[in-house]
Amino acid sequence: MKVNNQVAEIQVSYSTTGSEKIRVTSCLDAYDIFLASWSLQTIELHEEFKILMLNRANDVLGIYTLSKGGTSGTVVDTKLLFAVSLKCNASSIILCHNHPSGNLTPSEPDKKITDRVKNVAELLEIKMLDHIIITAHNGYYSFSENGLLS
């Protein structure tokens, strides 16, 4: 077999800034962080799905916008979700998406993606701490607080 010199070498890097980390200690903390990352001009326009990545001390490593969709849904690419989480060396994750309608009730697709991500997270030894649904004016719904992550 002939080796081609055109093959790219894979490089992995990891760095954090020296700035003070934000620690998540409750669902309300996570909600506040997510809401601050949302454009209030589009939160009622279309659905977005984001991931908050945390280290073992529940310090925020970062937030990533996974997808933007239409008025009633968005695509959640599980492979990309975990590629980002692993690249950040996250020990735990919190999922979040908005409901432009203002309705905080989780849909069946919301419940299914939550279960799917939770199952994959367990295999990768990443804790899925919560899945939060947010709205512009009605607050949030936490899967964890409502017993849907057990």
> Rounded to 10 degrees, what is the CA torsion of 68, 55, 31, 65?
-10
**Domain ranges (residues) in the chain:** 27-141
Of 72, 69, 38, nearest to 52 by C-alpha is 38
What is the per-residue pLDDT across 91-108, written as a single tens digit (0 to 9) for each?
999 999 999 999 999 999
Output the pTM of the full model.
0.88
- For residues 117-124, give the mean pLDDT: 97
- Domain 27-141 is found in CATH 3.40.1160.10: no
**Dihedrals phi, psi of 81, to nearest 5 degrees:** -55, -45
What is the per-residue pLDDT across 9-59, written as a single tens digit (0 to 9) for each?
656 555 666 678 899 999 999 999 999 999 988 899 999 999 999 999 999
Identify which has the larger pLDDT, 70 or 133: 133
- For residues 65-83, give the mean pLDDT: 92
Say yes or no to pLDDT of 67 above 80: yes
- For residues 110-128, give the mean pLDDT: 97
pLDDT of residue 20: 81
pLDDT of residue 4: 57
pLDDT of residue 7: 72
Q: Which helix (H) or strand (E) holds 98?
A: strand 92-98
